Amino acid sequence: MRFLALVLIFLQSLWGYTYNELLIDAQSRIYPKLLMLEEGIAARHKDKPVVFTVVYAPEDEFVAERIVEKIETYYDHSLGGIPFEADMATFDEVDLELHSDAFYILKGDVEDIRKTVEYALQKKITVFVYDYKDLKEGALFALTIEQTTVIYLNRAILQKAGVLFAPSLYSIVRFVDAE
Amino acid sequence: MQSEKGYSLSTKIIFYVLFVALVVLVSMFLVFEHIGKKTLYEVEREKADLIAKMFAPQIGINLYLGFNDKVDKAIKQIMTERDILAVYLKKNGEIIRKLKRHTTGLNGQAETFQVQAPIYEPGGEKQIAVLQLHYSSLHYREMVQKMTRLLLLFFSVATLLFIALAYQIRKRLMPLKKVAVALADYDVKGKELVLDCDSDDKEIKLIINAVEEMQENVNAYAELQENMKQILSKKVEEKTAQLWQQLYTDQLTDLPNRRALMDDLSKQSEALVAIVNIDDFTEINDLYGHRAGDIILKNFADTLRELDANNAYRISGDEFVLIKYGKFYPEEAKEFLKSVRSRIERTHFYYEENRVDIRVTIGATIEEDPMIEQADMALKEARKQRKPIMIFSSEWNLETRYRDNIYWIRQIKSALSHDRIVPYAQPLYDIEAKRIKGYEVLVRLIKEDGEVVSPFKFLPLAQKSHQYHFMTMRMIEESCAFFKDKKDLTFSINLSVEDILNSETVEYIKERIIHHGVAHRVIFELLESENIEIFPEVERFVSEMKDLGCQIAIDDFGTGYSNFSYLIKLKADYIKIDGSLIRNIHNDKNAQVIVEAIVDFAKKLGIRTVAEFVSNEMIYDRVCELGIDVAQGYYIQEPAPLEEVGSGPKSDMV
């Protein structure tokens, strides 16, 4: 299996983006939790599950699936006692019909990313990105692993999006202003 | 100023201020220390709590997100606080993180306190861990020490302030102390009170002003008191002089009295002292009344004042004293006293229209102390000897006589209390019947040594010392008791006028003779004395006794106050011819003539006669020849104790 995964990553590298496995793992663990720090989310999801959608370029479908698997493994459809589901959608599938509470945008074309972010802003969907450079496209959160794990929060977008998080979150994030 | 009984006001105030200050300061110290400690503890605890609470969310979010390195970092960050000694992160009761500081000087739990803060899941209420901090109490202790030092500083400063306050109180009250000291030494008679007590305090000024005003009032009052005192003192002196004058002056005659006499005599060793007694002055009072007596006494005093004497005194009702200072020989004194007497008796005293002539008897002395007593003895001797003037002579040996008197009075009292006053009996011999018809009961005193004492030695003294009444009663009782069974014998008992005038004695006599049934055999011998018949009591006594059946004899008849008239008046049954006539009857023609006359007179009146002092045969024969009925005397028989009664006359006589 490990061998198969390595082969797929090798193959994907031939026609897809490259990803840091460690980073993906960390983001898979942490992004859902960050989402649950949004104020009022628990109240809004008493009867319906929180949907966490991995948005990807078509060529990264396999990566996206793996991320969904990881998340489901980690949280088993429940996060903090709230029903939780991980989903996946390509940039193209992101439209007004798509129901989601958060987008985890993988690498992609800038335009796609920007369009997805715009869409998310319209629907007050929290946007997490794989690549912290995409924060400047209007994403809200990014996570990098440097000497330690760093969470970036786009302050300009936070204000624009009108979303509030648990105050303790602000004490551990590194704020950036990128639009 | 500290008084004898307590402390001054300023001391008390200072004491109270310091006491209250001490209590307040100590209370404040204790309260502030307690509150301060508690507050500091709470502050430190709050601080620790705050640290815990401040880090709890950060740790919570990192735990939540699984940032263990950040959790560790946060814990290390907590440990940067120097008072945090240890941090424990517990999850489900188990320590998942811990970090301890290695310290020295801190002794474990006792010097730390713990706080803990729950760590909740971010955005939720789920507790995911507990953050426990071990907080050092070192800072707390330092703060407590600082606070204690501050409080002690405050206490010291406050104490100094209170001491300053006490000093100020003492200083402010010092003028009052000065006032008190000045008042304590204040004497209204002394210098004026100067209150050198300047004070800015209104109240103190008021007090000083009030004291000064009071001083003026006191001075005015003292002056008034002084004036009153002088007036009273003068009045007291006047009254004292008046009292002294009354004390030393006779109120009636204004002559100095006995007290003044004694004072004057105590200052003189050589003087002629003469007691001048007005003879029969009571008759003047009786005849003209006491008012007349007083006037005569006043005039008499005036006469004495005019005499050539240094001073005249009135020492009792009719007794005056003349003093002439200097050394006198008896003849000189006698000449002077004669001139005095002559002057007095030549003076005519008048009461209203009545002329009253006064005669005086004078007793005097020129000897040394006791002058008054000596003059008094001389006066008594003059009366006794019926001489107008007598001057005391040490040759009279009066002192020995007085000592004898005292001795015999003591003997009489002792004999009475020890039944040594006893009756003796001497036979009365009926010459015609040639038998003893009865006995005369004679009193005898038996001395302690058994000596029998004749009444001549003690009877007059018994009368003067008020013992006579008891002696008479003793004689009455014992005589009656003895002779009640001697039915064929009479017995004579001697009674004096004093006995008869004593109603108690008379009642006793009557009661006893009736009791013993001896009335028809008792003869009362009345001692002849001056004017015995003038007393109605004597006449009444005789009458009562005769009614009872008693007989009356007149004793010692023929001398002195002999008076035939009262033989009739007193209905005498016997005349006892005086012994001085009988004693020499065998060789004295005059005595024989007198006795013959008495016997003749008595026979004509039916009165029997008794011859006393029949001491020998010649006298007895003469008595028989003269027709005397009864003989009594040693020739017949000597007086003998009652036990010997009935033994009969002497054998040679029979």
Chain B nearest C-alpha distance from A80 (Å): 9
* pLDDT tops 80 at residue B534: no
Contacts of B42 (CB under 8 A, 6+ apart): none
**B109, two tokens:** 């739990």
β-strand B490-495 against B522-527: which pairing, if any?
A: parallel
* pLDDT tops 70 at residue B649: no
Q: What is the ipTM of this complex?
A: 0.74
Highest mean pLDDT among A14-18, B107-111, B347-351, B600-604: B600-604
Mean pLDDT of B229-241: 92
* pLDDT tops 50 at residue B3: no
Half-sphere exposure of B6 (CA within 13 A, CB side): 7
Mean pLDDT of B312-321: 90
* pLDDT tops 60 at residue A15: no
Q: Which of A148, A174, A169 is nearest to B60 (CA)?
A: A169
- Radius of gyration from C-alpha coordinates of chain B: 62
Q: Which residue of A has its CA nearest to B123?
A: A166
Return the pLDDT at A25. Answer: 93
Backbone φ and ψ for B278, nearest 5 degrees, come out as -80, 125
CB contact under 8 A, B58 and A34: no
Burial level of A37, CB count in 10 A (0-12/13-18/19+)?
A: buried
What is the residue extent of each domain of chain A? Answer: 19-176
CB contact under 8 A, A149 and B67: yes
Lowest mean per-residue pLDDT among B120-129, B502-511, B517-526, B608-617: B120-129
Which of B 570-629 lie inside 8 A of A, CB atoms? none
**Chain A residues within 8 angstroms (CB to CB) of chain B:** 29-30, 33-34, 36-39, 42, 80, 148-149, 151, 165-169, 171-172
Give the H or E element holding residue B438.
Answer: strand B435-446
A146 SS3 class: coil
AA letter at B498:
E
Per residue in A57-101, pLDDT (tens digit) is 999 999 999 999 999 999 988 888 889 999 999 999 998 778 899
Return the pLDDT at B652. Answer: 52
What does the alpha-carbon distance between residue A104 and residue A27 come to, in Å, rounded to a whole number?
9
CATH 3.40.50.2300 fits A19-176, yes or no: yes
What confidence category does residue B654 fall into, taking pLDDT thresholds of 50, 70 and 90? very low
B128 touches chain A (CB under 8 A): no
What confidence category does residue B1 fall into, taking pLDDT thresholds of 50, 70 and 90? very low
Per residue in B560-581, pLDDT (tens digit) is 555 677 777 788 899 999 888 8
What does the alpha-carbon distance between residue A169 and residue A103 come to, in Å, rounded to a whole number?
19
A41 SS3 class: helix
Per residue in A131-151, pLDDT (tens digit) is 999 999 999 999 999 888 899
Return the pLDDT at B647. Answer: 65
Per residue in B190-234, pLDDT (tens digit) is 667 677 767 777 777 787 788 788 878 888 888 898 899 999 999
What does the alpha-carbon distance between residue B509 and residue B477 come to, in Å, rounded to a whole number?
8
Mean pLDDT of B252-270: 86
Residues A151 and A30: beta-carbon distance below 8 Å: yes
Only one residue has tokens 């200050």, namely B21
What does the alpha-carbon distance between residue B403 and residue B376 come to, in Å, rounded to a whole number?
17
| Paired residues of B136 in beta bridges | B112
**B344, two tokens:** 């007095």
Return the pLDDT at B552. Answer: 93
Residues B478 and B516: beta-carbon distance below 8 Å: no
Contacts of B621 (CB under 8 A, 6+ apart): B586
Only one residue has tokens 């009761």, namely B93
* pLDDT tops 70 at residue B25: yes
Per residue in B383-435, pLDDT (tens digit) is 888 889 999 887 777 677 778 888 888 888 899 889 899 999 999 999 999 99
What does the alpha-carbon distance between residue B418 and residue B436 come to, in Å, rounded to a whole number?
32
What confidence category does residue B630 fall into, taking pLDDT thresholds of 50, 70 and 90? very high
Compute the 3-state secondary structure of chain A and give helix, strand, coil in percent, each to the nearest 5: 45, 25, 30
Return the pLDDT at B441. Answer: 94
B67 touches chain A (CB under 8 A): yes
Q: Which of B595, B535, B597 is nearest to B566 (CA)?
A: B535
Return the pLDDT at B235. Answer: 93
Q: Which residue of A has its CA nearest to B119?
A: A168
Mutate to test the interface with B, among A150, A171, A174 (most CBs of B within 10 A): A171
Beta-carbon neighbour count of residue B234 at 10 Å?
10
Return the pLDDT at B2. Answer: 44
* Of residues A30, A37, A148, nearest to B122 (C-beta): A37
* Of residues B62, B66, B124, nearest to A80 (C-beta): B124
Backbone φ and ψ for B319, nearest 5 degrees, come out as -115, 130
Backbone φ and ψ for B534, nearest 5 degrees, come out as -80, -15
| Strands, E assignment, chain A | 50-56, 78-79, 82-90, 102-105, 126-129, 141-145, 149-154, 173-176
Q: Which of B146, B114, B142, B110 is nearest to B48 (CA)?
A: B114
Per residue in B26-36, pLDDT (tens digit) is 888 888 888 88
Q: Which residue of B has its CA nearest to A36?
A: B123
* Of residues A29, A36, A171, nearest to B123 (C-beta): A36
AA letter at B296:
I
Lowest mean per-residue pLDDT among B32-41, B183-192, B281-290, B584-593: B183-192
Return the pLDDT at A106. Answer: 95
Residues B581 and B554: beta-carbon distance below 8 Å: no
Return the pLDDT at A12. Answer: 53
Return the pLDDT at B109. Answer: 47
What does the alpha-carbon distance between residue B66 and residue B449 come to, in Å, rounded to a whole number?
153
Burial level of B298, CB count in 10 A (0-12/13-18/19+)?
A: middle
Chain B nearest C-alpha distance from A32 (Å): 10
CB contact under 8 A, A33 and B65: yes
Q: How far is CA B571 from the centre of its chain?
A: 57
What confidence category does residue B246 fall into, taking pLDDT thresholds of 50, 70 and 90? confident
Per residue in B151-185, pLDDT (tens digit) is 888 888 888 888 888 888 888 778 777 777 777 77
Share of chain B above pLDDT 70, in %: 93
CB contact under 8 A, B123 and A37: yes
AA letter at B383:
R
Average of per-residue pLDDT values in chain A: 87
Query: Sign of the CA dihedral A5, A11, A15, A20?
Result: positive
CB contact under 8 A, B122 and A29: no
Q: Which of B308, B317, B309, B318 is nearest to B276 (CA)?
A: B318
Return the pLDDT at A144. Answer: 94
**B199, two tokens:** 């004070």
* pLDDT tops 50 at residue B108: no
What does the alpha-carbon distance between residue B525 and residue B389 come to, in Å, rounded to a whole number?
36
Only one residue has tokens 């005249």, namely B312
CB contact under 8 A, A169 and B70: no
String of DSSP letters for B121-153: PTTS--EEEEEEEEEESHHHHHHHHHHHHHHHH
* Chain B residues whose beta carbon lies within 8 Å of the beta carbon of residue A126: none
What does the alpha-carbon distance between residue B126 and residue B227 come to, in Å, rounded to a whole number?
110
Contacts of B181 (CB under 8 A, 6+ apart): B1
Share of chain B above pLDDT 90, in %: 29
What does the alpha-carbon distance between residue A134 and residue B437 come to, in Å, rounded to a whole number?
195
B31 touches chain A (CB under 8 A): no
Residues A84 and A77: beta-carbon distance below 8 Å: yes
Return the pLDDT at A66. Answer: 94
First CA to last CA across chain B, in angstroms?
Answer: 116
Return the pLDDT at A14. Answer: 53
* A-B Cβ pairs (cutoff 8 Å, strict): 45
What does the alpha-carbon distance between residue A2 and residue A8 come to, in Å, rounded to a whole number?
10
Only one residue has tokens 């007005």, namely B278
Burial level of B483, CB count in 10 A (0-12/13-18/19+)?
A: buried
Give the H or E element holding residue A43.
Answer: helix A41-44
Order of strands across the sheet with B271-278?
B311-316, B319-325, B271-278, B360-365, B389-391
Return the pLDDT at B653. Answer: 54
Per residue in B466-519, pLDDT (tens digit) is 788 889 999 999 999 999 998 889 999 999 888 888 889 999 999 999 999 999
Residues B255 and B322: beta-carbon distance below 8 Å: no
Contacts of A9 (CB under 8 A, 6+ apart): A18
What does the alpha-carbon distance between residue B538 and residue B558 come to, in Å, rounded to a whole number?
20
Return the pLDDT at B533. Answer: 62
Mutate to test the interface with B, among A126, A172, A173, A174 (most CBs of B within 10 A): A172
B630 SS3 class: strand
Average of per-residue pLDDT values in chain B: 85
| Strands, E assignment, B72-126 | 84-91, 94-100, 112-120
B48: left (phi over 0), alpha (psi -120 to 50) or beta: alpha
* Chain A residues whose beta carbon lies within 8 Å of the beta carbon of residue B60: 168
